[in-house]
């Protein structure tokens, strides 16, 4: 599922002053060039908002500084957005989020081992204790995580397409997004973090 994290609305209403490429065709090229940059900025803001709530000192000041800088970038004009080194900016954000994650997970008693970026496609992990582990960027497509303990687990960028999360506990997990939840399979017994509602297709 694609989610622009509000980037499309920002681009249309702010960057291009309410104009769009359908009514003003000459805007198509600059708008299409700016959208991927704006989306990455908004996605980073999603993660940084959580990091503000989870980070302790001394990382909190650094998180807020990057959050403010990122918000300022979303107000750039089309040419400035095109010239922005978004890869470098996201790299800074990724490093900071990694440090926040490590700090939060270090407080978990006896955390599970990290499986960052690991291929777990179709893995049988029903009821597994994965609390406090990093599953950042892991491939969990069609994996069986029914009843698994995913509390305080870093799920940034984890591929949860068709992942069985029925009865799993994701409370307190780190850097989960709504598209990830929507792509997975769950039910009313799946425990999601605060602010997440079960998708309509979950039974």
The arithmetic mean of pLDDT across residues 158-173, rounded, is 98
5-55 pLDDT, tens digit per residue, is 777 788 777 777 667 766 777 777 878 888 889 899 999 999 999 999 999
Q: Right CATH number for 109-203 from 3.90.550.10, 2.160.20.80, 3.40.50.720, 3.40.190.10?
A: 2.160.20.80
Compute the mean pLDDT over every residue in the chain, rounded to the nearest whole number.
92
| 3: confidence class by pLDDT, cuts 50, 70, 90 | low
> What stretch(es) of the chain map to CATH 2.160.20.80?
109-203
46-100 pLDDT, tens digit per residue, is 999 999 999 988 899 999 999 999 999 999 988 898 899 999 999 999 999 999 9
**Among 144, 106, 143, 149, residue whose Cα is nearest residue 129:** 149
Q: Quick one: pLDDT at residue 168?
A: 98
Q: Record the pTM.
A: 0.89
Q: Quick one: pLDDT at residue 10?
A: 81
């Amino acid at each position: 599922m694609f989610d622009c994290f509000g980037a499309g609305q920002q681009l249309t209403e702010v960057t291009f002053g309410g104009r769009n490429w359908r009514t003003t065709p000459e805007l198509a090229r600059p708008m299409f060039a700016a959208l991927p940059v704006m989306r990455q900025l908004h996605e980073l803001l999603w993660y940084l908002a959580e990091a503000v709530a989870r980070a302790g000192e001394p990382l909190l000041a650094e998180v807020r500084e990057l959050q403010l800088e990122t918000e300022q970038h979303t107000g750039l004009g089309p040419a400035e957005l095109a010239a922005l080194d978004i890869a470098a900016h996201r790299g800074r954000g990724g490093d900071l989020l990694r440090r926040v994650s490590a700090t939060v997970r270090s407080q978990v008693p006896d955390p599970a081992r990290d499986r960052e970026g690991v291929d777990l496609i179709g893995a049988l992990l029903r009821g597994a204790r994965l609390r406090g582990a990093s599953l950042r960027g892991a491939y969990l497509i069609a994996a069986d995580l029914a009843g698994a303990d995913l509390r305080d687990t870093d799920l940034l960028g984890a591929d949860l397409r068709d992942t069985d999360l029925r009865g799993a506990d994701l409370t307190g997990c780190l850097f989960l997004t709504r598209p990830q939840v929507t792509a997975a399979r769950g039910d009313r017994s799946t425990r999601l973090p605060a602010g997440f509602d079960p998708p309509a297709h979950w039974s």
